[in-house]
Structure 1
Amino acid sequence: MKIVLLYVLCTVSFLLALSMNTTGAFVFFLIISLGMLLWARIETKIQTDRRNAEIRRRAEELVEEVSYTEYILSSDFLNALIMDEVTTTLYIANREDVDSRFERKKYPFTKILEAAIVEDGRILSLFPKDGLLGGERERGPEIYVVNSNDEANKESEDETVSKLSLKMVVNDLSNPTVEYVFMENEESLTKDSDEYKEVFKLCNDWHQKISVIIKRYEYTRVPIRQWH
């Protein structure tokens, strides 16, 4: 209500400024109008920040209902990637809106087979390199190793990206490929923008964590052969 009143006063002051016959009166009411507009925008930002803080607090409470050692929460508070090293479990949590509860899918560390950073459908980094996701090369995208080619990085400075995700292959025949989206925008970001670099760093950090998990458990998945 306060914000609406401020915008109304801003409009009234502006109309009064236009109706004034003297320069002094015009400037006076114009300053009042601009002041009301600035005040209204500040109040709007304060209320938005408070609302987002409350949504974040509730989202974090829901995410922390399960045991965890670390997690990340998407900027829209609708998705979360949760890791628990105590129970050796990875969770991907999703929900439709900020008023609903998260639906969590559980993946034991031993069932995570591959991890890849995917940028607009193109695989940038794949572990292990000879994994199943490597077959996507035949469908078009090439496989790159992050930071392995300085020239490729220079050529990509002017490129834009609309989606960045972490894709994993898990030992689940019903749904063998799962994905956590770090960024998906209608308006693409340039690769050299600070916002994209920050998101990419976060995605790369989690890719490295999951690669370590895959490496740690790869030998436990090798069938035991009889001694001859």
Structure 2
Amino acid sequence: MLYLALNLFIFVVCSILHIGIHRFFAKRGIFTLKTAFIFILGLIVSIYITTSLTLTNSMSFRADPPAGGAVEESSRVLWWKISRLSGIPPDGGDLHSSDVTSDSVGMTWNVSIPYSGIIFYILMVGVLIIFYTTPSFSNISPSTMILRLLKKNGKMSYQKLSGYFSDESLINLRLKDLHQDGLIFLEKDKFKVTPKGNRIVKTIDFYRKLFGWSVGG
């Protein structure tokens, strides 16, 4: 539980930092996906702390082994579990479930706990990303449509692009945002999508295909 609680704490801290940084840039008219990299930093911290604690506990265990034959008991517990699954009685007689104490079970369980906390952290980040991106990816937004049109046609003039939208003020705002984010650029009065914009479109298309949504054209 210690490792799960630790990774939950790291996740909560990273989420708060992500929201705070995102709002800081949003108030200044800067919208970027780079704020999500805070979760990668959190993963690095999680791996570092988990590994350090695991090594410390391992060294402490070797330096001061528990009294009462706990190591031998742990082996007996493991062999008892294997025997129960295989149906083959262990050598030297049966080991009944009554022989297994709560302390010995806890010791064998703790072996696999540390890095399961890291997996727990990764799963929480994945759920958070899906939760916040599904509404955007499930519906084709004007920005996505502009990027897809530019990717498909190579380059387009403002007049040609505006023909796909009924609200001219909307396309003006979206073109400005896409240009500020480095997803499109203007070349000889025609808009073109940048490599970064191409990657965004491919990511959105992959996401929509993954969930069986229409990709569009």
TM-score by structure 2 length? 0.30
- Name the structure with the higher strand share: 1
- Name the structure with the higher helix share: 2
TM-score by structure 1 length? 0.29
